[in-house]
Chains A and B, each alone.
Chain A
Amino acid sequence: MVKKRRKPKILMMEDNIFLRKLYRDKLTREGFVFIEATNGIEGINKTLSEKPDLIILDLILPRKNGFDVLDDLRKDSRTKNIPVIVLSNLAQEIDIKEALARGAREYLVKTETRLEDVIKKIKKWLPK
């Protein structure tokens, strides 16, 4: 009997309710399991409890910002290998360099990235 392949699990840390809804609907249609967190602390907790295959991370987040989230994920052996795609409004070179230096695999600027491109990047970075 062929074993049914598990759907990849994506965690989105994003405080904007409408963006979460947009990604929840789109990623579910694309066949992913979607989990969400509205702030950095909740995001870290859900990373530990849900063990996502990939994280989409906003940087300006309440309670714990995205840069600190990246540091926490990198320091913990349980989470350091989970690929993180930053999806932020910050478009300055200094922020991009900082996030990549702290372990983000990809940096996407919200207003410059189409939804379909985010899906492509998710597929690119999901563990094979």
Chain B
Amino acid sequence: MPKHPSKKARVSDAVSIVAHQLKNPISVLYGYLEVLLSEEIGKLNKKQKEYLTDALKNVEVISKIVKDLLDVSRIEEGKYEIKPRETDLVKICREVINNLSSWAKASNCEIVFKKPAKLPKVYVDSSKIYYVIENLISNAIMYKSSGPAQVVIELKRKGNKVLFSCKDNGIGIPKKDFKKVFSKFYRSEEAVVLNPSGTGLGLYISKAIIQLNGGEIWFERNKDKGMTFYFTLPIA
């Protein structure tokens, strides 16, 4: 008798197909907005530019959701590709911090980066680890408390692993939600208010990435305020 795919597999297939179908329309929107905003086919007034910039930001949000959904279905199908090579985590952290610095500054959030003078390289898929670090630091900035905030990123050696930590003094995660933090689509009530367009897929994907790269990921609530997320990765 032919084996029928499970309901979970069928849902995952459907999500994957829909996400793929959205890619062409996203590319079209990106392209048209890029041309309009470059003003190569006509000058825009201030309001037109503002609206088109907002439209572009929203297309970027849709694009990220589609990419995350495709990653989730690949993870669930066991088809998520990892290409490990010797990687410098200090370099990745610097790149992420640099890319997020203007947003952090505008959000009144200081990013502090601590690292030892020497740190061994790890053997991981660098682009995927970039995603995890970007996701953790973005969350720390996004879910900050009102007023000035600080995010402390730290790298250190721990035996034959490198330990990454991201400590914030933000809104934190309610204790009752601790078991759901790495679940698909999990979002705390306060997180939904602060960032309505989030999907709750970032930490789910991050956990899968860290595990597939031979590491562990976890978090704890700080004694004073906020959360600290940790992960380890094997030394090359």
**Once bound together, how far apart are the Cα atoms of A111 and B30, in whole Å?**
8
Please pick, from B38, B40, B67, B81, the residue contacting A111 in the complex, using a CB distance under 8 A: B67
Chain A: minimal CB distance from B228 (Å): 32
Taken together as a complex, chains A and B put the C-alpha atoms of A19 and B23 apart, in Å, by: 12
A116 cross-chain contacts in B, Cβ below 8 A: 34, 38
State whether B31 touches A89 (Cβ < 8 A): no
The residue from A16, A26, A29, A93 contacting B28, defined by CB atoms under 8 A apart: A16
Chain B contact-residue range equals 20 to 34
- Does the CB pair B28–A111 fall under 8 Å? no
A25–B28 CA distance with the chains assembled, in angstroms: 13
In the complex, what distance in Å separates the CA atom of A80 from the CA atom of B34?
A: 33
CB-CB nearest in chain A for B74: A92
| Chain A residues, Cβ within 8 Å of B20 | 89
The bracket for how many chain A residues form the interface is: 10 to 19
Indicate which residue in A18, A19, A29, A111 contacts B66 across the interface (CB closer than 8 Å): A111
B35 x A16 contact (CB < 8 A): no
Secondary structure call for the A interface: helix
Contact of B34 among A89, A94, A115 (CB under 8 A): A115
CB-contacts of B14-71 with A (<8 A): 20, 23-28, 30-32, 34-35, 38, 40-41, 63, 66-67
With A111-B66, A114-B30 already in contact, 17 other A-B pairs whose C-beta atoms are closer than 8 Å:
A18-B25, A18-B32, A19-B27, A19-B31, A22-B28, A22-B31, A29-B41, A89-B20, A89-B24, A89-B27, A93-B83, A110-B24, A110-B27, A111-B26, A114-B34, A115-B35, A116-B38
Tell me the A residues contacting B by CB distance below 8 Å.
16, 18-19, 22, 25-26, 29, 89, 92-94, 110-111, 114-116
25 residue pairs from A and B, CB less than 8 Å apart: A16-B28, A18-B24, A18-B32, A19-B24, A22-B28, A22-B31, A22-B32, A22-B35, A25-B41, A26-B31, A26-B35, A89-B20, A89-B23, A89-B27, A93-B83, A94-B81, A110-B23, A110-B24, A110-B27, A111-B23, A111-B30, A111-B63, A115-B35, A116-B34, A116-B38
